[in-house]
Chain A
Amino acid sequence: MLGKIKWGIHPNTHKSPTESKAIEVNELPGKVILPVQQHIGAPAVPIVKKGDLVKKGQLIAEGKALVSSNVHATISGKVVEVSDQPHPVQGKCQAITIESDGLDEWAEGILTERDWQKLAPAEIVEIIKDAGIVGLGGATFPTHVKLTPPADCSIDTLLINAAECEPYLTADHRTMLEYTERVITGIQIIRQVLGVRNAIIGIEDNKMDAVKVMSQAAAGTGIKVAAVPTRYPQGAEKTLIKTLLGREVPSGKIPPSIGIVVQNVGTAVAICDAVVSGVPLIERVVTVSGGAIKEPKNLLLRIGTTFAAAIEQCGGLVSPPKKIIMGGPLMGMAQYTADVPVIKGASGILAFTAEEAKDAPESPCIRCGSCLEACPMGLNPSMLSILGERSFVEEAVNQYHLLDCMECGCCTYVCPAKRKIIHYIRYSKKMSAQKGGK
């Protein structure tokens, strides 16, 4: 009782504009911009050049490195450019621009039908790798790497992350309601790859309809469905593990080290599509929301569609946005232009009005301790921000566990002095990486 009694925050979820709207398939985009880097790891290498004709599903950039991922054409048409283009995370990135021929034809030999139960784990991993699947929750770690855990880790549990704790976003929620069968099949495939029986889907208890639908669909498969308390950042890998299994991932380690693999619910759908029907990752469900959007919606978007085109699909803008964000409002990236493409990790597109984007000037820390209470990792964000301000990087890393921060943003959300704590932490992390310190 005298220790840490709570972590996390309870922001207004803002989910009502989109949570009851069915996923809409968007119109075929006129062009798509496909960055070669849409994942964590080495960039893929383009294997097409300007002027080439490509078909939907065709491999256009190959992930050759150990941790990398393939990129496929998401429409059929002509490659008009291989050049640097705006990128929602990196600012600029090499990208392949395809202009649509309006036919939307599949490349030959892509679509097949497979019985996943007859496939060996290694074959499935190969299919997932070829399909360019990455974690669709936002971290975009290549899935085939995550499904081949280090040999010294014995995996006992598969967690499916469907908490969707970020405000505004309802893409995973709608995915569970509408693609229920594919979610379940995807989970079964992952279980087969990992050779585990125990699988739990963690869903925040503000989505009880999804809990019900998933429980019914999972009946008889041995997959458990658990409602977890609504509290940000419940959907962070480490906090979800703690909530569902009571285990903690040791500092600096990954979940497989304690026998757990976590996959996002959207990733399960992508795995199902790739393994069962041969469809590579060319589209994803994206929540388009925020006060500046005329008609917030969940859209099934081709990867590479620009944000501007996606917003157009939602009736356009009510007022000029003051902020456009890829992802959720707490961990998402603010964009400098609406011409950035939707990448594999884009779970949401938010356009904020001036009112929503308003920001107060920061003042010195008054040591109220709210950030310590909110921090799910048990850090001292107050001290980290002060050390960051003064560039005391080594002290932050060695004494205040800087590198354990997952940048969930709880500390900055609660700060009464409006300090940009996460910003200081990112700065310190960057300084630390430059110094080669780890």
Chain B
Amino acid sequence: MSDDFQKEAAPNETEPKETVKKEAVKKAAAKKEAVPKEDETKEVVQEEAKDYMIVSSSPHLFDDNSISKIMWTVNLTLLPAVLFSIYHFGAQALITLLAGSLSAVAFEAAAQKIMKRPITISDGSAFLCGLLLAMCLPPGVPIFVPIVGSFIAIVVAKHSMGGLGYNIFNPAHIGRAALMVSWPVLMTSWTSITTTADVTTSATPLNILKLQGYDAVVNTFGSQTELYKALFLGLRNGSIGETCVVLLVLGGLFLIYKRIIDWVVPVTMIGTVGILTWMFGGTHGFMSGDPIFHVMAGGLIIGAFFMATDMVTTPITRKGKIVFAAGAGIITVLIRLVGGYPEGVCYSILLMNCVTPLIDRYIQPTLYGKGEIG
């Protein structure tokens, strides 16, 4: 070994460029101290200790987009709706939101530490996951509820699958579904609010619809106009982050403008729910439903703009995304109108997550040169 080294080192002084590169080929991607080792494809040639050139596969120019930019932008677009919810539901909403998002970050750090993976909490995806989970919880839940939810979302649904990029299901929704079956009473206990018609209620509009029918919903708010206004502005009962339609839509539009989400997803999902509830949701027969109510009530807006557009768990092609969104819309309506639960956005997205790999397999982008010649 030492003989070899000297043979190599001796001509080094006379012909520096020829031998140094043989000797000190380093891994280009070497993260820390590179062990001198030949790498077929990427290599860093050390000409002097500090003065080396990088030899890597093209391209050599990159966009400055990154995962953390995407995730923090999404977090930022949720901020208006979050602030509104704190105003609307008070300090208990703030505590739930903080407990959800911060515990998600802590669980991610712990999980990655235990699994000896690089810790990536700064990319914002765990924070986003915890925040979305907390936004889907009733405002008055005890503090352990969002923390247990975050544990299930981050550790079970995300990191046991391999971490960001490998999870099959939307982690926030898995967390919510698990909480739903574990503490059904806590998860359906809403705060009391007083509506514009001076009715104090502790039920969500969709709850009232399920138990007492559409007319009872309208009566609770006074008139249909007042109902729409309350839904649009978020002055109603519901999960922490789902109520304020206007701020969620504005956040979603910003994401569309930034090209982070594709507009076809919310448009297809909301459109499907609107059309189907209009056709089948009425009590006076076919096409007597109230699509505007169904679109704005429940978690459809936050689901369509922020959950059904989750990159990891939804199809990658545009056509696939449309299929996904339409399917999620159909399942939502089925659960709301036929099933036992008042709301179905969470389960519809989880069910469509299952078929995402299948959609991706069958719907592929249009290949250049596949069309007709000439």
Residue numbers of A with Cβ under 8 A of B are 2-4, 9, 11, 167, 238, 242, 247-251, 253, 258, 320-325, 329-337, 339, 350, 352, 357, 359-361, 363-370, 372, 375-380, 382-383, 400-401, 404, 407, 409, 412-418, 420, 422-423, 426-427
Question: In the complex, are the beta carbons of A331 and B62 less than 8 A apart?
Answer: no
The main secondary structure of chain A at its interface with chain B is loop
A369 close to B311 (CB less than 8 A): yes
Closest Cβ of chain A to B89, distance in Å, is 32
Report the Cα distance A360→B63, complex, angstroms: 11
Listed A/B pairs (8) with beta-carbon separation below 8 Å: A2-B318, A3-B318, A251-B370, A258-B373, A372-B365, A409-B59, A409-B61, A422-B59
* CA A15 to CA B312, docked complex, whole Å: 37
- Closest-by-CB residue of A relative to B17 is A337
> Total number of A-B contacts with CB less than 8 angstroms?
183
Q: How far is the CA of A400 from the CA of B262 in the complex (A)?
A: 23
Beyond A322-B54, A360-B66, list 17 extra A-B contacts (CB 8 Å).
Answer: A2-B322, A3-B319, A248-B371, A333-B58, A336-B43, A336-B53, A359-B54, A364-B166, A369-B316, A377-B368, A377-B369, A378-B366, A383-B360, A404-B367, A414-B63, A417-B67, A420-B57
Known: A258-B374, A324-B53, A368-B311. A330 touches B367 (CB 8 A): no
Residue among A11, A377, A412 with the most chain B CB within 10 A?
A412
Most buried by A among B52, B63, B364: B63
With CB as the reference atom, state the residue of chain A lying closest to B25: A336
Which B residues are CB-close (under 8 A) to A372? 316-317, 365
Minimum CB–CB distance for B43 against chain A, Å: 8
Asked whether B120 lies within 8 Å of A380 as measured between CB atoms, the reply is no
- From A167, A413, A416, give the contact of B66 (CB < 8 A): A416
Nearest Cβ in chain B — how far from A429, in angstroms? 12
Most buried by B among A361, A376, A416: A416
CA distance A30 to B319 in the complex (A): 60
Contacts of B250 in A (CB 8 A): none
> B312 touching A242 by the CB < 8 A rule?
no
Are A3 and B163 in contact, with the CB atoms below 8 A? no
Q: Measured between C-beta atoms, what is the minimum distance from B365 to chain A in Å?
A: 5
Interface readout for B55-92 with A: 1 if CB under 8 Å, 0 if not?
A: 11111111101110110000000000000000000000
A336 to B371, CA, bound (A): 42
Enumerate the 10 nearest inter-chain pairs by beta-carbon distance, A residue then B residue, closest first: A409-B59, A364-B165, A423-B57, A329-B61, A330-B59, A251-B369, A378-B367, A377-B368, A329-B60, A368-B311
Name the residue of chain B whose CB is nearest to the CB of A364: B165
Q: Could you say which of A330, A370, A401 contacts B61, with CB atoms under 8 Å apart?
A: A330
Residue of A nearest to B322 (CB): A2
A183: shortest Cβ distance to chain B, in Å?
28
Task: Check B4 for interface membership: any CB of A closer than 8 A.
Answer: no
Say how far A167's CB is from chain B's closest CB, in angstroms: 6
Residue in B45, B65, B264 whose beta carbon sits within 8 Å of that of A370 in the complex: B65
With a cutoff of 8 Å between Cβ atoms, the chain A residues found around residue B66 in the complex are 360, 416, 418
Residue of A nearest to B367 (CB): A378
A380-B360 Cα distance, complex, nearest whole Å: 10
Are B364 and A380 neighbours in the complex by a CB distance under 8 Å?
Answer: yes
Q: Judge whether A426 and B57 touch: CB under 8 Å.
A: yes
Query: What are the residues of chain A within 8 A of B51 when measuring CB–CB?
Result: 320
Question: Which chain B residues in 112-167 approach chain A with CB under 8 Å?
Answer: 120, 162-166
Which of B59, B62, B67, B369 interacts with A249 by CB under 8 Å? B369
Contact call A367/B374, Cβ cutoff below 8 A = no
Residue in A333, A372, A420 with the greatest tally of chain B CB atoms within 10 Å: A420
The verdict on B210 contacting chain A, using a C-beta distance below 8 Å, is: no
The answer to whether A2 touches B54, judged by C-beta atoms less than 8 angstroms apart, is no
Inter-chain CA distance A266–B259, complex, in Å, is 38
B284 within 8 A of A: no
Does B110 reach chain A (CB closer than 8 Å)? Answer: no
Query: Please, which residues of chain B bring their CB within 8 A of the CB of A167?
Result: 61
A367: contacting residue among B61, B62, B316, B373, CB under 8 A: B316
Query: Contacts of A251 on B, CB cut-off 8 Å?
Result: 367-370
Contacts of B2 in A (CB 8 A): none
B6 at the interface (CB under 8 A from A): no
